[in-house]
Homo-oligomer: A and B are copies of this chain.
Amino acid sequence: MPEFKTLLVEQIGKVAHIRINRPEKINAMNRDFWAEMIDVFGWVDQTDSIRCAIISGEGKHFSAGIDLTMLGEAAGQLNMDIARKAEHIRRHVLHLQHSFNVIDQCRKPVIAAVHGYCIGGAIDLITACDMRYCTEDAHFSIKEIDMGMAADVGTLQRLPRVIGDGMMREMAYTGRPVYGAEAARIGLANRTYKDHDALLAGVMEIAQSIAAKSPVAIRGTKEMIRFSRDHSVEDGLNYIATWNAAMLQSEDMKIAMAAHMSKQTPEFAD
């Protein structure tokens, strides 16, 4: 189990639970955090015994978003030629995006469990996750607009696929808070739970149920959904046919079939 400065990580059965762990800073995302996201999801992706991950916040909130000192950096205080500074900023933004792309590209489903504040960069983070669940008092806000900038770490690209176009623009232009119940109604969260404990228990149950499925089938399903988001239906159909050309030769299908016939629970290799 790797060790991190800004994250608490534990493995429960075949599920990794990652907690953002700077509660005294409302889990604000500092330089260490951005680097450790790459490491932790590299570990999730590479570790065969992990089949699903949960990300939540330690303390009273999920996260207040990017640490404001880093925001200044992105804007670049350097006394540089404008063009060279622009190139520097562009690459810095691409670098930050990479820290959440690893969630999107991780072969295993990643579930966000949100309570309290989920602000700015935290929205970028949870939209890169597969699914979102929250407490009734969760407080979502695309706060970048109040920092004088367009959100640039994924929200504006991924959120339109999650919630309706009209409500997404309202959130992005106004930065107004959306609470748990409304989040569930517009599809930002799949479901709300009464409090943090209920949330973690509920999400763990979902994660364990996913972890019990064939990992070959889960990884194929995630890859297909990710591909379909950005490609035509026809391209998607051709891709799954090509993918399953190998994957349907898996042992997992025989195991699943046998379990189905004998009404038993199948056990799949990692």
Q: A residues near B, CB below 8 A? A: 68, 71-72, 74-76, 81-87, 89-91, 93-94, 97, 101, 104, 109, 130-132, 144-152, 154, 156-158, 160-170, 172-176, 186-190, 206, 209-210, 213-214, 216-225, 228-257, 260, 266, 268-269
Contacts and interface: CB of A to CB of B under 8 A. Distances in A.
Name, among A101, A109, A154, A217, the residue most crowded by chain B CB atoms within 10 Å (CB to CB): A217
Contact of A241 (B81, B93, B206, B220): B93
Nearest 10 Cβ contacts at the A-B interface = A83-B250, A148-B256, A150-B220, A164-B187, A86-B246, A230-B232, A157-B236, A148-B252, A90-B245, A246-B246
Contacts of A101: 237
A268 B147 CA distance: 11
A223 B236 CA distance: 16
A247 B94 contact: no
B86 A169 contact: no
Contact of A81 (B154, B251, B257): B251
Given A145-B221, A150-B243, A151-B224, 4 more contacts: A93-B244, A146-B256, A170-B190, A173-B221
- Report how many copies the assembly holds: 6
12 contacts: A84-B216, A86-B247, A89-B249, A130-B169, A132-B166, A148-B217, A148-B256, A157-B236, A164-B187, A173-B210, A174-B206, A231-B235
Contacts of A156: 221, 224-225, 228, 236, 240
B225 A76 contact: no
A76 B248 contact: yes
Nearest to A253: B148
A160 B229 contact: yes
B213 A173 contact: yes
A152 to B, nearest CB: 4
Nearest to A161: B165
A257 B68 contact: yes
Contacts of A254: 75, 148
Contacts of A214: 145, 148-149
Contacts of A161: 160, 165
B237 A157 contact: yes
Contacts of A170: 131, 190, 206
